[in-house]
Structure 1
Amino acid sequence: MSIDRCQITELPKIHDPRGNLTFIEGNVHVPFDIQRVYYLYDVPGGSERGGHAHKNLHQYIIAMSGSFDVVLDDGKNKKRVHLNRSYQGLYVCPMIWRELDNFSSASVCMVLASTRYDEGDYFRDYAEFMRARWSAS
């Protein structure tokens, strides 16, 4: 898996003077069936989240409020993606190390996930992740 597969996509945005509406459908707007939704909030300034990779999990990350950066690392290349629009999301495929940082005040990060929580799907140690990346190549 390459960070080139991790792309920002636009979500439907229905304009209305009373407030805009955006919706997300699994296997339509995201390339997987949504099995879990979680969100990060009240992240203190200067803090980092993430710092892991998944073996099989697909994710779609959205800045529901405020902004933050997602740093993606496929073992060869790194890229920083800034999220700050609630009608855009970042698709993250399996076997990509990710870190979230640069959270603005009152930011909310929502993540749509392809599977339920499974601790066995995580790489929490970067060296272990790198060994798995290169053994799979």
Structure 2
Amino acid sequence: MPLHINDIQLTDIKKISDPDGRGNLSVIENDVLPFEIKRVYYLYDVPSDGTRGGHAHKELQQFLIALSGSFDVVLDDGKTRRSITLNRPNKGLLIPSGVWRELENFSAGAVCLSLVSAEYDENDYIREYSKFTSIKRG
């Protein structure tokens, strides 16, 4: 697990280019993620001024990919905030547990794929930022 928010970086996803120019194929295999995928979902038709996320997880890890278009992921570890733009389907962002995330600035037609380490559990969510920062302070 990254110890600092600046340790969170984009991850390359294997890209196979067709020699006949028929497009590309990207593959996510066991060596890309540090967890077994337990749930897959995707966001789409998010208005450009809309936001998603706005929470942290106690245990769940998440891997985000912009399958189409682009969006920004604002990460916050309780001390530092930074924004990473996702705009390539062969790049992903691994968000470890204990990191606040907000998704914003969606382009038209953006699709965000989310691969996660656990099935949905409301008890794993921290939905109030003040509670999140309180937990981070110990």
The amino acid across from 1:4 in the alignment is: N
Q: 2:24 aligns with which of 7, 20, 23?
A: 20
Q: CA deviation at 1:133?
A: 1.0
Equivalent position of 1:9 in the other structure: 11
The amino acid across from 2:60 in the alignment is: L
How many percent identity over aligned positions? 53
Please report the TM-score for the alignment, with normalisation by the length of structure 1: 0.94
Query: Which sections of structure 2, spanning at least 5 residues, go unmatched?
Result: none
The amino acid across from 2:104 in the alignment is: D
RMSD: 0.9
The amino acid across from 1:21 in the alignment is: L
4+ residue runs over 2 A deviation = none
Q: CA deviation at 1:134?
A: 1.2
Q: CA deviation at 1:2?
A: 2.7
1:120 maps to 2:123 = yes
- 1:1-137 equivalent positions in 2, closer than 5 A: 1-16=3-18, 17-26=21-30, 28-135=31-138
Q: CA deviation at 1:45?
A: 1.8
The amino acid across from 1:48 in the alignment is: T
